């Protein structure tokens, strides 16, 4: 593969490490493992938990980002290959908060006991001091109070994704009107598409503005569904994500009580899956490199 490195906006962990940590070295190890799989940059994605615990996880990410900046600066001054050259880490772009303002009815593999009713006070308590690193937050738009939080995110420059949601089509449209700009792992952890009730999944598939995350491992979405997405959705709005979690070996996801519990893939694996089903290489690269950069307004 000769294209630029992948950009993964939704990964909880990889190998033996994940974002449930207070240790910035764990985040840097995740960065190293992703870099080894051709990922250039990523958003460590924090699980819903008690607000204090989520903040401690964000602190680990913030410190890891500072360490990367220091290593890059130190290496540039000394021209030493020891720090940056040997670390070979994917760049940490900030943090994606998957929750805690989610719908318990669509918790998927997440701990619904950690979900919180959306409010501006809870949101401010969650991100206070971390405003500069929170890039994306996933919110269920149908929960009372969610639209105000989404609007506040838009005003603060934080991308609000709709997800882990039981929203009707109309409720999803209201989320978009409030300022939501994306949808977290389309079709997964949301109401099923129905010909009379298209819901959040239907809006994500047909809307011309909303970005959609897509887990292309061949399990979270059937290959035919992946073909449908690439044939129907506006190409510059598709974002490939791994949704990877620690402890999974191989590309087959873990299953807990009949529910898919994250993946063990990297975007390099998604690249291979999509190539096999016939998606053109240029389209895959756009979804795995260009579109996530566009979504975060990266240069």
Q: Are 42 and 90 in contact (CB under 8 A)?
A: yes
Cα torsion through 67, 70, 76, 82, rounded to 10: -40
Is 243 a residue of the active site? yes
> Of residues 8, 26, 217, 243, which has the active-site annotation?
243
Residues annotated as catalytic are 243
């Amino acid at each position: 593969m000769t294209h630029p490195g992948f950009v993964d906006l939704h990964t909880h962990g990889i190998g033996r490490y994940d974002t449930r940590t207070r240790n910035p070295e764990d985040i840097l190890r995740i960065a190293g493992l992703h870099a080894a799989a051709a990922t250039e940059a990523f958003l460590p994605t924090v699980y819903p938990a008690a607000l204090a615990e989520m903040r401690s996880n964000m602190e680990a990410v913030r410190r890891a980002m500072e360490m990367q900046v220091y290593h890059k600066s130190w290496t540039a001054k000394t021209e030493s290959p020891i720090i940056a050259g040997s670390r070979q880490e994917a760049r940490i772009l900030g943090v994606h908060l998957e929750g805690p303002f989610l719908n318990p009815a669509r918790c998927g593999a997440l701990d619904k006991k950690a979900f919180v009713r959306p409010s501006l006070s809870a949101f401010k308590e969650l991100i206070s001091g971390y405003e500069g690193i929170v890039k994306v937050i996933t919110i269920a738009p149908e929960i009372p109070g969610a639209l105000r939080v989404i609007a506040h995110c838009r005003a603060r420059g934080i991308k609000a994704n709709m997800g882990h949601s039981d929203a009707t089509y109309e409720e999803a449209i209201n989320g978009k009107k409030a300022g939501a700009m994306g949808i977290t792992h389309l079709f997964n952890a949301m109401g099923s598409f129905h010909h009379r009730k298209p819901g959040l999944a239907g809006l994500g598939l047909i809307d011309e503005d909303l970005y959609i995350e897509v887990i292309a491992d061949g399990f979270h979405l059937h290959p035919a569904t992946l073909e449908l997405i690439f044939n129907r959705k506006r190409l510059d709005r598709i974002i490939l994500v791994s949704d990877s979690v620690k402890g999974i070996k191989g590309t087959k996801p873990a299953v807990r009580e009949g529910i898919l519990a994250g993946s063990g893939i990297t975007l390099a694996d998604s690249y291979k899956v999509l190539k096999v089903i016939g998606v053109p290489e240029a389209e895959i690269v756009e979804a795995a490199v260009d579109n996530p950069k566009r979504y975060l307004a990266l240069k």
